[in-house]
Structure 1
């Protein structure tokens, strides 16, 4: 049964899980994983080999889901 509570309906539209963007440092085709370097310098291992080394990748819940655009990022403090 669906709810009439607008807040719960809104939360139901949002995707769950952890999402991040990082640069692919290495790709291991033998075990199907990639090493991703995050913006803060930490490295993680993620499942998937769909993005080539040196490019940015979207990582969702520990899995490479696609190539991310190589846009410039700015940090603005208010």
Structure 2
């Protein structure tokens, strides 16, 4: 059943899942996984081996989706 609630319609347009960027530390081709270090220093294991060691990768719901550009990052507290 379709909803007429505008908020629910808006939420339905947004992409779901967790998205982040991290540096690829190592690759395990046998398991098709990579160890990625996130910006906060936490290391995670992500599925995919498409990005080389030393480069940044986009990670969506634990899957490496592609190479991310190496752009400067700034943390600003307000």
TM-score under structure 2 normalisation?
Answer: 0.94
Residue ranges of structure 1 left out of the alignment (5+ in a row): none
Residue ranges of structure 2 left out of the alignment (5+ in a row): none
Equivalences for 1:37-76 in 2 at 5 Å?
A: 37-76=37-76
Displacement, 1:18?
A: 1.2
Displacement, 1:33?
A: 0.3
RMSD: 0.8
Corresponding residue of 1:26: 26
**1:17 aligns to what SS in structure 2?**
coil
Mapped to 2, the partners of 1:2 and 1:65 lie a distance apart of 32
Consecutive aligned runs of 4 or more in structure 1 exceeding 2 Å deviation: none
Count of residues in correspondence between the two structures? 78
**1:37 aligns to what SS in structure 2?**
strand
